[in-house]
Amino acid sequence: MANQRIHVVARLVALPDKVEELKALLLGLIEPTRKETGVIKYELLQNQSDPTDFTFVEEWQSPEALDNHLASTHLQAAVSKLEGLVAVPLDIRRYDILA
């Protein structure tokens, strides 16, 4: 059976005056997401040279585990609060490891 693990990079860019508000919202996702079935890694990064730039680096056991996360109540609640906090639309990319 092929490796079904999936890697995700999700990027958000805060409006300059909403950095701390977005950071608090995103940090609130960490604990409930790390308790989800199928999560292997879920890390939130903030760019050192541009504090408006946040990136989640994620690893999931399967596409189904990721889909369950994307449909989760806590994630949907956070996404509904992004308007007025972000400068550009949420950018979610799924990756396969090649080597």
What secondary structure does DSSP assign to 58-88, as a single string?
EEESSHHHHHHHHT-HHHHHHHTT-TTTBSS
pTM: 0.92
Model pLDDT for residues 47-92, shown as the tens digit of each residue = 999 999 999 999 999 999 999 999 999 999 999 999 999 999 999 9
Phi, psi of 5 (to 5 degrees): -55, 145
pLDDT of residue 1: 43
pLDDT confidence bin for 97, thresholds 50/70/90: confident
Integer Cα distance of 18 and 16 in angstroms: 6
pLDDT of residue 98: 87
CATH architecture of the domain with residue range 6-47+61-95: 2-Layer Sandwich (3.30)
